[in-house]
């Protein structure tokens, strides 16, 4: 009912420039381009290690044709990871709380995997609509269910990311408001709420990383089915 609690999710404008633009471009500063040196600075080494870990994890289940997707999946992963983690700093704006942005990421990529499958191996892609070993009587119902589940995938991808991050930020704001308000009235309860806030912040850091990973993992799974 308190509409103002959602004010943190509107992109603030200064001189007509929305903060979302800066929030989306800022991660590029934190990810240095690798130079041709053998031993780089610590940040570049960390970044290369993380990129190798992510790429290996995502590309192992894919066949050779799927490796063409390595660049887009890894860059998407780094982008989402950076944006989610930066959103946990005070006063910052998280673009991934906006459903528009998450749908804009999820829908075209899901459609690309679907069209790749339908174009290159149509019978195998359509065959995924019917799991093996279903009783004959259930076949029509199951095909309808599987089609619905297929068509709902982009919506689920986008909404999952939005909802998780929005809920987390909202919880942090609610509990911190409670802590500050309770501090002059009941200090002990305020300290208890501070403990909850600390644990919640740790959870949010984990959720930020996990949600980015889940988004890209699901996309790679949809790719595996279709390539």
Q: Please identify, using beta-carbon distances, which residue of 92 and 121 lies nearer to another protein.
A: 92
Q: Please identify, using beta-carbon distances, which residue of 93 and 215 lies nearer to another protein.
A: 93
Minimum separation from the CB atom of position 97 to another protein (A): 14
**DSSP letters along 114-170, please?**
HHHHHHH-HHHHHHTTS-TT--GGGHHHHHHHHHHHHHTHHHHHHHHHHHHHHHHHH
Q: Please identify, using beta-carbon distances, which residue of 2 and 148 lies nearer to another protein.
A: 2
Cα dihedral across residues 57, 60, 66, 67: positive or negative: positive
3-state helix, strand, coil in the chain (%, to 5): 80, 0, 20
Minimum separation from the CB atom of position 139 to another protein (A): 54
Minimum separation from the CB atom of position 51 to another protein (A): 17
Distance separating alpha carbons of residues 99 and 40, to the nearest angstrom: 38
CB count within 10 Å of CB 54 equals: 20
Minimum separation from the CB atom of position 116 to another protein (A): 38
Q: Please identify, using beta-carbon distances, which residue of 144 and 180 lies nearer to another protein.
A: 180
What residues are paired with 192 via a beta bridge? Answer: none
Would you tell me which residues interact with another protein (CB under 8 A)? Answer: 2-5, 7, 12, 14, 19, 22-23, 26, 29-30, 32, 40-43, 86, 89-93, 177
């Amino acid at each position: 009912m308190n509409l103002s609690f959602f004010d943190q999710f509107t992109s603030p404008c200064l001189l007509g420039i929305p903060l979302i633009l800066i929030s989306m471009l800022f991660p590029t500063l934190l990810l240095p381009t690798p130079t041709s040196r053998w031993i780089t600075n610590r940040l570049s080494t960390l970044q290369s290690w993380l990129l190798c870990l992510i790429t290996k994890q995502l590309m192992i289940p894919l066949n050779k044709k799927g490796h063409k997707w390595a660049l887009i999946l890894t860059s998407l992963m780094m982008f989402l990871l950076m944006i989610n983690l930066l959103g946990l700093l005070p006063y910052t704006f998280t673009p991934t709380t906006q459903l528009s942005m998450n749908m804009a990421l999820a829908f075209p990529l899901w459609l690309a995997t679907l069209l790749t499958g339908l174009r290159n191996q149509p019978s195998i892609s359509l065959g995924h609509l019917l799991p093996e070993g279903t009783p004959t009587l259930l076949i029509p119902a199951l095909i309808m269910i599987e089609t619905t589940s297929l068509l709902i995938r982009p919506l689920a991808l986008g909404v999952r990311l939005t909802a998780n991050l929005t809920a987390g930020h909202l919880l942090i704001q609610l509990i911190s408001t409670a802590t500050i308000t309770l501090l002059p009235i009941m200090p002990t309860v305020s300290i208890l709420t501070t403990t909850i806030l600390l644990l919640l912040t740790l959870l949010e850091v984990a959720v930020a990383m996990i949600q980015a990973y889940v988004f890209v993992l699901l996309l790679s799974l949809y790719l595996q089915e279709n390539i």
